[in-house]
Amino acid sequence: MKKKLSFLLVLLLALSTFLAACGGGSEEPTDTSKGEGDGETPATEEPTEAREQVLNLLESSEIPSMDSALATDQVSFIVMNNVFEGLYRLGENDEAVLGMAAEEPTVSEDGLVYTFKIRDAVWSNGEPVTAQDFEYGWKKVLNPETAAEYAYIMYDIKNAAAANAGEVGLEEVGVKAIDEKTLEVTLEKPVPYFEALLSFATFYPQKESFVTEQGDQYGLEADTVIYNGPFVLSEWKHEQSFQLKKNADYWDADTVKLEEINHNIVKDVATGINLYETGEADVAGLSAEFVDKYKEDDNFKTRNGTSVFFLRMNQGDELLSNVNARKAIDMAWDKQALVDVLLNNGSIPAYFLVPQEFVVGPDGNDFRSINGDMNVTDVAAAQELWAKAKEETGIDTYELELLNYDSDSAKKIGEYIKEELERNLEGLTVTIKQQPFAQKLDLESAGDYQFSFAGWGPDYPDPMTFVDMFVTDGAHNQTGYSSAEFDEKIEFAKNETSDLEARWQAMADAEKILMDDAVISPMYQKGSAYLEKEYVKGILRHAFGADYSYKWAHVE
């Protein structure tokens, strides 16, 4: 998303709303165009009372930010995806469909200049959505003073990187409102997935006059934001709950069936299941101990995801600056047992960064087929590496603190990793620091941790959304890692537009370098198991970007 996907953990592990970024699984989105459930009641049956168009959902985390220029996590992105709208949004099968763009853009022959017409739409305060709102919102992201972690996702735009570095003025960026309803975007090079990229939250518009009026309070409360999407954030009780209501002024309001979506913040899985059983929640995530109990239930569902969770290792740490120590940690614990016992929800062990069944290359094969599995669990080899690390660092005993999420499931996973590492790596002691979601993100961004339980979900359909996280001084490279060879591979892949096979190979080479250097210890590719009431229809679950869209959802 993308997504600091640390988001995703809350979604996957505890009770998030539906626990999934999309991609496979037994459930298919409902085709709402077929008018499901709208037929007449047979004369021989008593008519049933119409159910209110209200969804009651669970979330395991507070929303960290509602400022699209600053948000980095999936919890924020999911909410934003449903209350804001960019030029495009993701529809069924993750196809980019028109949003604030009234029609498909005109594109220059060289594929560099896009001209968009903005549809007649209004913000929730009644003001029109204009091309200037896009120019302002995007340049706010690129303004060095904003310090937006996601600014790099705009670097395909002409002069965006230079402006973000303070080397040229924002007026040099290739985003220009020609008039109130015409937006011109000039790229540095053609981007084959550009339309899908524009559905991502960082590309949302912002109304400059309103943002200026709110000052440093913008994005912090429900009433310090205005909305142009299918819903509005109508209520936000921090750390307790938040509510979305249908936006009557949305340009496509007739399509939106739900009147209200209520989210309760609940960190304990058992509590969420109890709310589901008593009818106070329509969807509930399942942790391992509940999967077997409910797997025969008619409302039990599973999904395969494209998010990958990993242990992030801070190379500013005395021990973790040593590559053999990092490799030992990566190979010393049993990932298969983690997914089989603690998750039990369709997740698979990860010996990679870029997930399986996410994207295919120019040859038609899954990206994963190039490198396959790397650094598979091997305790004996890990112990040899650990001995080398001790010799190289002069460290015989060491204490590492694991920065963890504060959900019940995350706590169990943290304790499992502690037990595995302490048993297999002599002299290592692991302590665990559990933090609320937003605080954990802040500590990682500040580099104030030793190693952490983290994750990433894709922002757009390309391996680059994973591998470029770790470029030197990258906004999401919170490990202190730097490799000239790795940076060269990424730079080549970002600029190669003619030889697609060479580009693909460069990204695979970059992933291999990361694993050889043990920058992270991959844990698992996310699957999810959950209960969903039979009357819940039409929720779209996405493989990249925000996990869920409720625009087409309804209660049958």
> What digits encode the pLDDT tens for the residues 77-128?
999 999 999 999 999 999 999 999 999 999 999 999 999 999 999 999 999 9
> 521 and 551: one domain?
no
Is 356 among the domain residues?
A: yes
Is 278 among the domain residues?
A: no
Residue 396 in 3-state DSSP? coil
To 5 degrees, how large is the angle CA 299–CA 303–CA 305? 155
Percent of the chain with pLDDT over 90: 87
Identify which has the larger pLDDT, 495 or 354.
354
Residue 410 confidence (pLDDT) above 70: yes
Is 311 among the domain residues?
A: yes
- Please report the DSSP string for 275-332 in residue order: HHHTTS-SEEE--HHHHHHHTTSTTEEEEEEEEEEEEEE-TTSTTTTSHHHHHHHHHS
> 241 and 369: one domain?
no
Q: Identify the bridge partners of residue 405 per DSSP, sorted by sequence position.
A: 435
> 485 and 542: one domain?
no
If one counts every other C-beta atom within 10 angstroms of the C-beta of residue 315, the result is: 17
Is 6 among the domain residues?
A: no
> 397 and 430: one domain?
yes
User: Using CA atoms, how far apart are residues 292 and 271, in angstroms rounded to an integer?
Assistant: 17
User: Using CA atoms, how far apart are residues 489 and 469, in angstroms rounded to an integer?
Assistant: 13
Task: Tell me what pLDDT residue 26 has.
Answer: 28
> 398 and 539: one domain?
no
Sign of the torsion formed by the C-alpha atoms of 7, 10, 13 and 19: negative
What count of residues does the chain have?
Answer: 556
Backbone conformation region of residue 458, classed left if phi is above 0, alpha if psi is from -120 to 50, else beta: beta
> 318 and 193: one domain?
no
User: Cβ(74)–Cβ(459) under 8 Å?
Assistant: no
> 484 and 519: one domain?
yes
> 542 and 442: one domain?
no
Is 285 among the domain residues?
A: no
> 512 and 367: one domain?
yes
Residues 6 or more apart whose CB falls under 8 angstroms from that of 279 comprise none
Q: Kindly report, residue by residue over 207-246, the tens digit of the pLDDT.
A: 999 999 999 999 999 999 999 999 999 999 999 999 999 9
User: Cβ(476)–Cβ(149) under 8 Å?
Assistant: yes
Task: Tell me what pLDDT residue 185 has.
Answer: 98
Domain count of the fold of the chain: 2
State how far the alpha carbon of 361 is from the alpha carbons of 93, 356, 507, in Å. 19, 12, 11
CATH of the domain at 521: 3.10.105.10
Is 22 among the domain residues?
A: no
Task: Tell me what pLDDT residue 3 has.
Answer: 38
Please identify which residue in the block is written with the tokens 């650094």.
375
Task: Tell me what pLDDT residue 173 has.
Answer: 98
User: Using CA atoms, how far apart are residues 265 and 436, in angstroms rounded to an integer?
Assistant: 12
Local confidence band at 192 (pLDDT 50, 70, 90 cut-offs): confident
What does the radius of gyration of the chain's CA atoms come to, in whole angstroms? 23
> 499 and 542: one domain?
no
Residue 107 in 3-state DSSP? strand
Residue 352 confidence (pLDDT) above 70: yes
> 376 and 500: one domain?
yes
Is 511 among the domain residues?
A: yes
CATH of the domain at 544: 3.90.76.10
> 339 and 234: one domain?
no
Sign of the torsion formed by the C-alpha atoms of 465, 467, 469 and 471: negative
Residues 6 or more apart whose CB falls under 8 angstroms from that of 156 comprise 187, 188, 189, 191, 194, 197
What is this structure's pTM?
A: 0.84
Range of the domain at 148: 54-269+533-555
The two beta strands, 398-405 and 428-435, are: parallel
Nearest to 527 by CA among 20, 78, 93, 94: 20
Q: Kindly report, residue by residue over 123-173, the tens digit of the pLDDT.
A: 999 999 999 999 999 999 999 999 999 999 999 999 999 999 999 999 999
Is 89 among the domain residues?
A: yes
User: Cβ(33)–Cβ(316) under 8 Å?
Assistant: no
User: Cβ(142)–Cβ(125) under 8 Å?
Assistant: no
Q: Kindly report, residue by residue over 277-325, the tens digit of the pLDDT.
A: 999 999 999 988 899 999 999 999 999 999 999 999 999 999 999 999 9
